[in-house]
Homo-oligomer: A and B are copies of this chain.
Amino acid sequence: MPELRKDPITGRWVIIATDRVRRPSDFSRESVIVEGGRFCPFCPGNEMKTPPEVLAYRHGGGSNTPGWSVRVVPNKFPVLRVEGNLERHGEGMYDKMDGLGAHEVIIETPDHDATLATLSEKHIESLLWAFRDRTLDLKRDIRFKYILFFKNHGEPAGATLEHSHSQLIALPVVPRQVQEEIDGSKRYYDFKERCVYCDMIRQDAESGTRVVLETEHFLALCPYAPRFPFETWIVPRKHFSHFETSDAPTVENLAWVLRTLFRKVDRVLEKPPFNFILHTSPLHEPSMLHYHWHLEIIPKLTKVAGFEWGTGFYLNPTPPEEAAKFLREAGLS
């Protein structure tokens, strides 16, 4: 019998097709293979092909020359622009505002062929510090209400360049998806006086069936009501609402978790395209007891179709207990 399951945070229902379960080998493969060979604006030596860097961690060289390990530049084709103002305008019954914001690219490595599964822990850690440093810098611009960090890996997941990179978009409004999570967590907190994510960690760590891996600081799990097959969340054990308040041991541990998880994902799903998204709190919101930052990883294995667009329901052919088992048991040589 298929199951309808409810996400305890947003209240979103998903259909888990327990009848016709799709295992890793049942998905059509679109493995992401880095081919190289073409001109790449993110490779060392081509620094002048991007807008000037806003941050770089360097072991040598001057600004906008080789010698960096992580480099952040404004997107050459930004979806939002830093010029403009926050005023809203009417157009008869409609509302609009300037497309104000910042859109930056975090070039994760000078090595064209590296991925999050092959980079060293130390390197991934510095990438995470870059996320933190850009947040603290952009936060000073009070026009920005939220910063989204995300990664599109592979063309089916929306990437246009293959050199490993993530992106940030700073927005003048808190996006509805984020607001829904915060509001949903708040409702749970008002009722239970406990954080819904903390409860999830407790219950899932105890049952173990949806756990992918556990460390001192993190739990990686396939959530109870995932939208997508093999959707995996990395949740810090300690309650913090803002990613940027993480301390060094936490960030160091997160780097290990990310690297291990991506190696497992590559192993089980044969280097799938994926998105990852950092879920954190609005910039100027004080620390919240009800919201808990975390990372969501979505391998791109299925197509979103009319049913999903029409209902906001999701149809997931892989129960999270199955997905977690595959990922948990994947050996890493």
- Which residues on A are within 8 Å of B, measured CB to CB? 1-6, 8, 11-13, 15-20, 77-81, 83-84, 91-100, 148, 150-152, 155-159, 167, 169, 171-173, 175-178, 180, 196, 199-200, 203, 207, 224-225, 275-279, 296, 298, 303-307, 309-313, 315
Return the contact of A96 from the options B4, B11, B303 (Cβ within 8 A).
Answer: B4
* Beta-carbon contact of B203 and A92 below 8 Å: yes
Given contacts A96-B5, A277-B306, contact A13 B173 (CB under 8 A): yes
Distance to closest chain B CB from A195 (angstroms):
11
Return the contact of A311 from the options B15, B19, B178, B203 (Cβ within 8 A).
Answer: B178
Most buried by B among A1, A196, A279, A306: A306
Given contacts A176-B313, A312-B176, contact A93 B8 (CB under 8 A): yes
Contact residues of A: prevailing secondary structure: mixed
* Beta-carbon contact of B309 and A176 below 8 Å: no
The residue on B at minimum CB distance from A279 is B310
Given contacts A96-B6, A99-B2, A306-B277, contact A180 B148 (CB under 8 A): no
Q: What B residues does A11 contact at CB under 8 A?
A: 176
Distance to closest chain B CB from A124 (angstroms):
17
* Beta-carbon contact of B180 and A15 below 8 Å: no
Distance to closest chain B CB from A302 (angstroms):
8
The residue on B at minimum CB distance from A2 is B99
Quick one: copies of this chain in the complex? 2
Given contacts A13-B173, A224-B94, A306-B150, contact A99 B4 (CB under 8 A): yes
Given contacts A13-B173, A311-B148, contact A157 B306 (CB under 8 A): yes
Q: What B residues does A91 contact at CB under 8 A?
A: 224
Return the contact of A79 from the options B8, B83, B315 (Cβ within 8 A).
Answer: B315
Given contacts A306-B151, A307-B167, contact A95 B175 (CB under 8 A): no
Q: What B residues does A2 contact at CB under 8 A?
A: 78-81, 98-99
Return the contact of A5 from the options B94, B167, B200 (Cβ within 8 A).
Answer: B94
CB-CB nearest 10 A-B residue pairs: A158-B305, A2-B99, A150-B306, A175-B311, A177-B312, A275-B306, A277-B310, A176-B312, A6-B95, A158-B303
Q: What B residues does A203 contact at CB under 8 A?
A: 92-94
CA distance A78 to B150 in the complex (A): 34
Return the contact of A303 from the options B17, B156, B312 (Cβ within 8 A).
Answer: B156
CA distance A49 to B183 in the complex (A): 48
Q: What B residues does A311 contact at CB under 8 A?
A: 148, 169, 171, 175-178
Q: What B residues does A307 contact at CB under 8 A?
A: 79, 148, 150, 167, 169
* Beta-carbon contact of B1 and A98 below 8 Å: yes
